[in-house]
Each structure stands twice: as C-alpha cells, then as structure tokens.
Chains A and B, each alone.
Chain A
C-alpha cells in the first residue's frame, strides 16, 4: 500500500472498514506528519494526544457503520469545540474554551471522526490571504513565498500538505473556494441553510456557511453528507430532504445546460485564466453537456455590495467582544475607556477596519445611502441568478482572477485584496452552492481552479458536474516536501 497520508478520505474509510488499517494506524501517521510540518504554521491548537487516545478507543470497539470510522480530521479554528480552545485566530478570544460544540463538528464526531487539532485562519475569517491571523500567516506548501489564500488558509494548507485527510472551512465571500483554488484542492460552499451555523464564530450571519475541503470531489460529497443537517439551534437552517451525496454521485451529466456568464470575463483577465475557462467548457462538452452564453448584468456590483453588507453584519456580531463577558480585557479609567482599550488591543487592523466600515454604513444619516442601497442591489444580484437558472442547470466560471499571490503583495492595499473574491462573492450574496475544483497550473506552476455554481440546494448536481470534470482534467501537482523537519 502507498503511504497512508497519500490516501484520499474515501480510500481511508474503505481501508478502515475492510480492517486493512486501524484508526490508530491512520491517526498516528497524520500526527507524525503534522509534527514535522510546523514550518507551515497551520495549527493553532494541536490535540494529538487526545486524538491518539480516541483512535485506540475506536479500535477497541469499532463501529464500521459510521461514515468516518475513526478518521482524524483537523478543522478551521472558527468552529467551537467543547473543552478545546477556540480563538477565531484573534487575540480577543485567545483564551476562550467553549463548553459546547458546534453542530457541524458534532455531526463529524457522531459519524466517527476524531479531532486532530484547530487550524489557523484569517482573524474572524476576515481576509483572503491568511495574513490577518493573530497567530501569524500560514505558509502554502505550494511555495514558501505564497499565501495559501483565505480565510480558510490553514485548512487549505494543511489539506494540500497532507496533514489531514480532509478538513472543514467556512465561506462568507469565498473563504473555502479561493484557498482551495490556490492550493490545488476541492472546496465546496453549500447553499445557505444547508449546514448549521450553530457554534461557528459569527462573521456575517446572512452569508456565512460551513463546507468541506477535500482532495477530490468524492470526498467532498461524503463530508458534506455528514456535515449537512437540519438544526433547530440555527433559525436559518432549512429543513429539506438531504440526498446521500456520495452514494448518488454520478458522471452522467449528458444534456445538462451550463451557463457561461460574460460579465465574469473581467478587464485584464490573464490568458491563462481565459484558457483554463475555455478548457473547462471543452471538458463539459466532452461529457455531453451543452454550453450556453448567459448574462449576469449586476456582477460588477457584487463586491461593493458585499463590502457594505458583510462589515455591517460583522460590526454587529463583534460588538459582543467588549472585555466584559470574554476573558481578554485591558483595564481603563472608566467603563467606556475599558471597552475602547480592550477592543483596540484585542482586534487586528483588518478586523478594526471592517468594524469601522460596518459602523459607518449603519450610522445615523448613512443607513439609507449605504446599507439599504446594498440590500437592494443584493436583490438585483439574486434576481440575475434566478433569471438565468430558468435556462441553465449550472454556471461555470474561474474560481479566482489569478493564482496565489506572494505574502505581503496585497496586504497594504485593501481594495486590491478584496478584488480577489470577485468570482466567489456573488454566490454568497445569492445564497447559492458553489464548488471549486483544481483545473490546471499557471506558467509559474501554481494551481488554478474552476468554479461551478448551482441552484439552491442543488449540491448533487454541481458535485456530479465537478466529478465528471475531475476525471477529464486529471489534475496533478508534484508536491515537493520542502517544509518538512525530521
């Protein structure tokens, strides 16, 4: 057998079920590899000893009916984990130990998975490069100078470096799909309401969704199947019959109509991305799908809309970190002074910037001009998608306007950083599902991704399309293990 850490999630599951591997075999391999990979700065909290103990417990009383039998998984540090520190990569939550478990992670453990540790991300998931974390930026295994993308950068990096067989992230404007695209992995943002938001540190509540990040499409289907559930603890959770995504996965996409939105051909788009998109269309045609040109006329307004809506919701969600209820506090001369000093010392610059934007657009005299305006444009963006989904079954776009950029390249220019999410943000505003799959390499040899956007709750369809394309693309990345220590 090849190295345990080279196996996909689905392969691990079948090996454990066939008793070719024990949970302890798998867990100890991942623990060893993670220990040798500290240079990537992916882990904020390691729970290796507890994981090994749980693996032994599983092996002594194995339940092979579980979908993730004794499989170790490291997760983004935005999910609350009972009795395990949860920081959202912020100083202000540096010593927060939840006494409850997020629904999504509870679903993983209920199906046999074991927590390996908590992974670095942008502070409160605000960022596209993992440079805003209080715990330092994450390094991409693709190249030491590159960002892994963000905000689920630690998840993407750990997955691509094979420090975990699969992982979960959250996606508010592209935070699963963009880092997946940058690291040559698969990332899926489900329809708003598919995965419970209970116990996930809130950023922008009308946009946040948790989703799987995996090495292939089959694994994404399996992990989504476990993560997604109706939950009374989340008032926006939707009660629908959830398919068995992995069991129903099919390569038959004959006759499917795929839309190509002309507005996504943005100014200055590189030839490489053009070609990637063109190749994607050809793969789909080879699979028997029909390509249809469509228009999403309000596309260019999605990012400015997002940068009103998301900070507005964030400024409200982050009001709770005031030095009173959570551990971190900076004393002041009076109550207001304590609030101001605590929040000034506890939040990083990007988080402060977004709280300030949000506060401004919600403040007296500006609410109508900004916040209400953005909510109206959000309606137009959603209507665009509704209209073209009368004619097509899914949409194909690039995942990002470029491959991964260098650490420090965009950190001084917020707008150029925000523009990275140009192809992913509209999907969140409309609440739709989107998946990014690795589709090729650019001239520098860095991964590029293609995104498939589907109708609400039509995850099975975009998974099937991605599954068919994956076969044709046959993406290979020769990972050199330059970061490993003995």
Chain B
C-alpha cells in the first residue's frame, strides 16, 4: 500500500501539525519507505492470536478516592502559561 500526498496531508490534519509543500513531499517519501518495510508483518498469519497491549497484564489496582497532595494550588498555578494569580488561564478551547 503506498501513501500519496493527499494521505500525508490528511494525516497531518489529524495530527494537528501543519506542513508546507516541501515537508509534505519529504514525508511522503519517508513514510512510504517506512511502511514498505513495515509491510513484512503481513508474512505472518495472526488470525487466532490474542493482541498484547500491555506487558503487565495485571488488573489495575483499586484505591480509596482521597486527597493526598494538599495545598498545591500555588504550585500548580506556577505552570499557567499566562501570568495570573488566581486562575490557570488558557485560550478559549470550547465554543
């Protein structure tokens, strides 16, 4: 399966990464060579194999829902991109 320029631009949209024409063309070449190499996985029959998503394969632990870190409001606000004493100010992301 080859990846054309239109697909590269579609993936770039999905990835939320803007690309100029030159970069898109370079990526078209790179992605094609990478996926051509990846295709060798098709040599394997895997119909009846259980997918492995995590090595741990243990049940997630349950814990009490309780506050462990107290009075960290100021600490957290230090990473607010806009300087503001009271709120974590970000651009409007919902209409």
**B37/A415 in contact, CB under 8 A:** yes
**B37/A325 in contact, CB under 8 A:** no
**A338/B91 in contact, CB under 8 A:** yes
**A205–B27 CA distance with the chains assembled, in angstroms:** 25
Cβ contacts under 8 Å, A430 to chain B:
55
**A380–B11 CA distance with the chains assembled, in angstroms:** 29
**A83–B44 CA distance with the chains assembled, in angstroms:** 49
**A301/B41 in contact, CB under 8 A:** yes
User: When each residue 21-39 of chain B gets 1 if its CB lies under 8 Å from chain A and 0 otherwise, what string results?
Assistant: 0000001001101100111
User: Is B67's CB within 8 Å of the partner chain A?
Assistant: no
Q: Give how many A-B residue pairs fall within 8 Å (CB-CB).
A: 141
User: Is A340's CB within 8 Å of the partner chain B?
Assistant: yes
**B51/A235 in contact, CB under 8 A:** no
**A340–B24 CA distance with the chains assembled, in angstroms:** 14
**B52/A356 in contact, CB under 8 A:** no
User: Is A370's CB within 8 Å of the partner chain B?
Assistant: yes
Cβ contacts under 8 Å, B55 to chain A:
192-193, 206, 382, 430-431
Interface range on chain B: under 10, 10 to 19, 20 to 34, or 35 or more?
Answer: 35 or more
**B46/A356 in contact, CB under 8 A:** no
User: Is A322's CB within 8 Å of the partner chain B?
Assistant: yes
**A373–B51 CA distance with the chains assembled, in angstroms:** 8
**A380/B61 in contact, CB under 8 A:** no
Within 8 A of B (CB), among A405-450: 414-415, 418, 430-431
Interface hub of A236, A238, A363, A376 (most chain B Cβ within 10 A): A376
User: Is A335's CB within 8 Å of the partner chain B?
Assistant: yes
**A206/B54 in contact, CB under 8 A:** yes
Cβ contacts under 8 Å, B54 to chain A:
206, 236
**B56/A99 in contact, CB under 8 A:** no
User: Is A264's CB within 8 Å of the partner chain B?
Assistant: no
**B16/A336 in contact, CB under 8 A:** yes
Cβ contacts under 8 Å, A193 to chain B:
55-56
**B34/A377 in contact, CB under 8 A:** no
Q: In the complex, how many angstroms separate the beta carbon of A354 from the nearest chain B beta carbon?
A: 10
**Given A97, A300, A335, which contacts B79 in the complex, CB threshold below 8 Å?**
A97
**A458–B8 CA distance with the chains assembled, in angstroms:** 44
**A235–B54 CA distance with the chains assembled, in angstroms:** 12
User: Is A387's CB within 8 Å of the partner chain B?
Assistant: no
| Interface pick from A34-42, A169-177, A275-283, A341-349 | A341-349
**B34/A344 in contact, CB under 8 A:** no
Query: With A192-B56, A353-B27 known to touch, is A305 a contact of B15 (CB < 8 Å)?
Result: no
Q: In the complex, how many angstroms separate the beta carbon of B86 from the nearest chain A beta carbon?
A: 17
Cβ contacts under 8 Å, B58 to chain A:
238
**A44–B44 CA distance with the chains assembled, in angstroms:** 44
Within 8 A of B (CB), among A321-351: 322-327, 329, 335-341, 343-344, 347
Cβ contacts under 8 Å, B33 to chain A:
414-415
Cβ contacts under 8 Å, A382 to chain B:
52, 55
Cβ contacts under 8 Å, B65 to chain A:
none
**B60 to chain A: closest residue by CB:** A235
**A335/B15 in contact, CB under 8 A:** no
**B81/A99 in contact, CB under 8 A:** no
**Given A232, A307, A337, A343, which contacts B38 in the complex, CB threshold below 8 Å?**
A307
**Given A325, A326, A356, A375, which contacts B51 in the complex, CB threshold below 8 Å?**
A375
Within 8 A of A (CB), among B39-54: 39-42, 44, 46, 49-54
**B33 to chain A: closest residue by CB:** A415
User: When each residue 256-274 of chain A gets 1 if its CB lies under 8 Å from chain B and 0 otherwise, what string results?
Assistant: 0000000000000000000
**A319 to chain B: closest residue by CB:** B16
**B46/A343 in contact, CB under 8 A:** no
**A99/B76 in contact, CB under 8 A:** yes
**A344–B17 CA distance with the chains assembled, in angstroms:** 5
**A162–B65 CA distance with the chains assembled, in angstroms:** 46
**A325–B91 CA distance with the chains assembled, in angstroms:** 9
User: Is A254's CB within 8 Å of the partner chain B?
Assistant: no
User: Is A357's CB within 8 Å of the partner chain B?
Assistant: yes
User: Is A379's CB within 8 Å of the partner chain B?
Assistant: yes
Question: What 6 new A-B contacts, CB under 8 Å, besides A347-B17, A357-B34, A431-B55?
Answer: A99-B79, A298-B44, A304-B40, A325-B81, A359-B14, A377-B49
Closest 8 A-B residue pairs measured CB to CB? A431-B55, A375-B51, A340-B18, A376-B46, A379-B52, A99-B75, A376-B49, A339-B16
Binding site for B on A (CB under 8 A): 96-100, 192-193, 206, 232, 235-236, 238, 298, 300-301, 304-305, 307-308, 315, 319, 322-327, 329, 335-341, 343-344, 347, 352-353, 355-357, 359-360, 363, 370, 372-380, 382, 414-415, 418, 430-431
| 29 pairs, A vs B, C-beta closer than 8 Å | A97-B79, A98-B79, A99-B75, A206-B55, A235-B60, A298-B44, A304-B40, A305-B41, A322-B16, A323-B91, A329-B91, A337-B18, A343-B16, A353-B31, A355-B15, A356-B15, A359-B14, A359-B15, A360-B7, A372-B51, A373-B42, A373-B46, A375-B52, A376-B49, A377-B41, A379-B50, A418-B34, A430-B55, A431-B55
